[in-house]
Amino acid sequence: MSRILSFFEPVIIIGGGPVSPDDVALVQQFASKTIAADSGVDRADALGLDVFAVLGDMDSVSPGGLRDNVGKTTRISEQDTTDFEKCIYSSEAPVYLCIGVLEGRMDHQLAALNVLAKYPDRKIILIGPQDITLLCPTDFAVELPIGTRFSLFPLGEVSGVCSNGLAWEMEGLDMNSSGKIATSNRTRTPQVDIRYSHGALLLVLPIETLPELLKSL
């Protein structure tokens, strides 16, 4: 399907999972427009968050959510993808700040992580109550306070992971989701560099590092 929305600034995606007013306040510091994934519009309405568009198969949104946003709604009927993925492939933005996707149902959370692996060319940040998660670029540098928790988790096979600036450095490490992982590391210097040659590698950071992360992307 061709993309139907185009943004020149970061955009918020709100899913149907739990969302707090703090989540909304955080992402609104960096983005002004919001896409709702299906029943995410009900979350948005409850929080007083105006949405620019509602995308999905519309199988879980409330009748009131549909009625109140009729001019903003696009029904995408295919059933091969989640509503969250529909929002990604139907739009184009420099960065996606995604709330309401890392709490609630575990299958929805796993599906959101799958979307990160499927769209490595997109800068998609999943925002939860404590952490932010994204697909780590293959050559990445970020400045963080010394001692910041810094976790890497492979989605499948990942080859040649090298780091500089962590308490426990990696030099050509091969990782696997059923084998070697690298969670609960921490920063040793103000700048951390990560490189790897192949695969999909998740980066998990504390939520308070979002401003620093956005500067590095």
| CA-based R_g, the chain, Å | 18
Q: For residue 209, what are the domain limits?
A: 139-216
* pLDDT, average across residues 177-184: 92
Residue that the structure tokens 């994204």 belong to: 134
Residues 125, 77, single domain; the answer is yes
Give the model's confidence band at 146: pLDDT under 50 very low, under 70 low, under 90 confident, else very high: very high
Residue 71 confidence (pLDDT): 87
The verdict on 90 and 158 lying in the same domain is no
Task: Give me the pLDDT at residue 69, please.
Answer: 87
Do both 121 and 51 map to the same domain?
Answer: yes
Instruction: Look at the alpha carbons of 205, 82, 7, 25 in this order and tell me if their dihedral is positive or negative.
Output: negative
pTM: 0.95
Q: Is residue 75 part of a domain?
A: yes
Last residue of a domain, one of 72, 97, 129: 129
Looking at the structure, do residues 96 and 25 belong to the same domain, yes or no?
A: yes
pLDDT digits (tens, 9 = 90+) for 65-101: 888 888 898 899 888 999 999 999 999 999 999 999 9
Residue 32 has pLDDT above 70, yes or no: yes
Q: What is residue 152's predicted lDDT score, i.e. its pLDDT? A: 98
How much is the pLDDT for 2? 53
Residue 134 domain flag: no
What is the reported pLDDT for 70?
A: 83
What's the pLDDT tens digit per position in 192-202? 999 999 999 99
| Same-domain status, 152 and 178 | yes
Tens-digit pLDDT profile for residues 147-157: 999 999 999 99
Task: Read off the pLDDT of each residue in 21-42 and give the average, rounded to a whole number.
Answer: 96
How far separated are the first and last CA of the chain, in Å rounded? Answer: 27
As a whole number, mean pLDDT of residues 183-205 equals 97
- pLDDT attached to residue 8: 96
| 89 and 176, same domain (yes or no) | no
- H/E stretch holding 139 reads strand 139-143
Please give the structure tokens belonging to residue 201.
């590698």
* Mean pLDDT for the stretch of residues 60-66: 88
Q: Identify the pLDDT of residue 49.
A: 93
Sequence-distant (≥ 6) Cβ neighbours of residue 73 within 8 angstroms: 53, 54, 55, 58, 66
**Torsion angle, alpha carbons of 47, 51, 54, 59, to 10:** 10
**Given a cut of 80, is residue 1 above it in pLDDT?**
no
Q: Same domain, yes or no, for 69 and 123?
A: yes
Strand partners, 140: 194
Supply the CATH number for residue 15's domain.
3.40.50.10240
Q: Are residues 161 and 119 in the same domain?
A: no
Is there a single domain that holds both residue 101 and residue 190? no
Residues shown for the chain = 217
pLDDT band at residue 104 under the 50/70/90 scheme? confident
The number of distinct structural domains making up the chain is: 2
Residue that finishes a domain, picked among 129, 162, 177: 129
Residue 106: pLDDT above 70?
A: yes
Q: How confident is the prediction for the chain on average, in pLDDT?
A: 94
Residue 55 has pLDDT above 80, yes or no: yes
What's the pLDDT score for residue 177? 87
In-domain check, residue 26:
yes
Q: In a 10 Å sphere around its CB, with 0-12 CB exposed, 13-18 middle and 19+ buried, how is residue 35 labelled?
A: buried
User: Any idea what the CATH number is for the domain that residue 184 is in?
Assistant: 2.60.120.320
**With bands split at pLDDT 50, 70 and 90, how would you rate the model's confidence at 190?**
very high
Residues 105 and 182 in one domain: no
